[in-house]
Amino acid sequence: MKRPSVAITIRSFDQYGRAMKKLNDEFEIVYVNSTGLRLSEDDLISAIQNAEYVIAGTEIFSKKVLDASTNLKVISRVGVGIDNVDITAAEKHNIYILNTPESPVLAVAEHTLALLLTILKNIQKYNNQMRMGNYAVEPGQILCGKTVGIVGLGRIGYRVATMLAALGCTIYYYDPYTRISPPSEWISVSSLENLVSSVQIVSLHTTPQKEGTAVFDSRIFVQCKKGIIVINTARGSLIDERALADALDAGIVTAAGLDVFSTEPYRGELLKYSQVIVTPHVASNTIESRQQMEMEAVEHTIDAKRRITQ
């Protein structure tokens, strides 16, 4: 009996790990993305044309892609967000969307903290200077005692807030939809404007807006406490990058730590700012979390296959 077909479209998947072995045991693998890049719309259509199941990353499953993928039954996402999938088109074609919400939490939370500490302690600046024989120093900052605003108190936002609270920060949060009951000492804020005007650091952990518009735009940046630090390990669309550059120029934002961008790989103007610390969308890309996410995505795919074929 012919095995169901699966395509691996995520740009990084361990082809020699346990998750791949388990996938091989259950499916015929018809495509593996070995480019190291996120597939374009046309490349994605070509990659999944013969697939019933997909192990996916952040590539865009648009209406055009899903309309062209007549065999597709399941998209199993290695990661949390499913905003890269046109949900309406998926529902129209009866395509199931799965994700792995628990696996990346600790890795992303730690990466958020790493970006913040890199900024406060001038780590990247010293690293670059010393390699050029420059040993000039300037004062860093202590994290303990800082006021931190968390935008989005889901799994990752809550873990980040817990870590920062343990390090002596005062936690403010804005999330009108949270289902989590935070500690009583954390301060709930009624609007994003009130949050950014009250804190020294803001960290984004919310989902993108449906229309893809920025949450942090010029209107929000002018409300920020002067000298604020902005961290984003959630989604690039949350920040208007031009507005952030303007806020940096105006001294409203003193520094930023960014793992995600509106277009990736990112080659935009924010790279010109030494006070902007950047990483290429790798917050969840630790050995441990990747193994767990990949295995969960494969297991979810196998479970879905069994339900569909029953």
| Cα→Cα distances 256→70, 100, 235, 262, 273, Å | 43, 28, 14, 15, 9
Of 71-75, 195-199, 238-242, 283-287, least confident by mean pLDDT is 283-287
The reported pTM is 0.85
- For the chain, what is the mean pLDDT? 95
Please state the rounded mean pLDDT for residues 77-84. 89
Residue 83: the pLDDT is: 87
Residue 309: the pLDDT is: 85
What structural domains does the chain harbor? 5-103+287-309 (3.40.50.720), 105-278 (3.40.50.720)
d(CA 90, CA 114): 37
Residue 12: the pLDDT is: 87
Taking each helix axis as running N to C, give the angle between helix 105-120 and helix 287-309, from 0 to 180 degrees, rounded to the nearest 10: 150
Give per-residue pLDDT as tens, 181-219.
999 999 999 999 999 999 999 999 998 887 889 999 999
Is it the case that residue 273 has pLDDT exceeding 90?
Answer: yes
Residue 310: the pLDDT is: 74
Residue 222: the pLDDT is: 98
Q: Which residue among 3, 91, 102, 264 is the active-site one?
A: 264
Q: Which residue among 77, 155, 205, 281 is the active-site one?
A: 281
d(CA 58, CA 81): 8
Residue 6: the pLDDT is: 98
Residue 20: the pLDDT is: 96
Is residue 235 among the annotated active site residues? yes
Residue 56: the pLDDT is: 97
Q: Which residue among 77, 155, 235, 300 is the active-site one?
A: 235
d(CA 76, CA 79): 9
Please state the rounded mean pLDDT for residues 85-107. 95
* Residue percentage of the chain with pLDDT more than 70: 100
Which residues does 208 contact at the CB level (< 8 Å), separation at least 6? 81, 83, 234, 235, 237, 238
Residue 81's pLDDT band (boundaries 50, 70, 90)? confident
| Cα→Cα distances 118→50, 208, 272, 308, Å | 45, 26, 17, 48
Is residue 159 among the annotated active site residues? no
Residue 202: the pLDDT is: 98
Is it the case that residue 80 has pLDDT exceeding 90?
Answer: no
Is residue 111 among the annotated active site residues? no
DSSP β-ladder status, 170-174 and 5-8: unpaired
Is it the case that residue 1 has pLDDT exceeding 70?
Answer: no
* Residue percentage of the chain with pLDDT more than 90: 91
Looking at per-residue pLDDT, the higher value among 207 and 75 belongs to 75
Is it the case that residue 300 has pLDDT exceeding 80?
Answer: yes
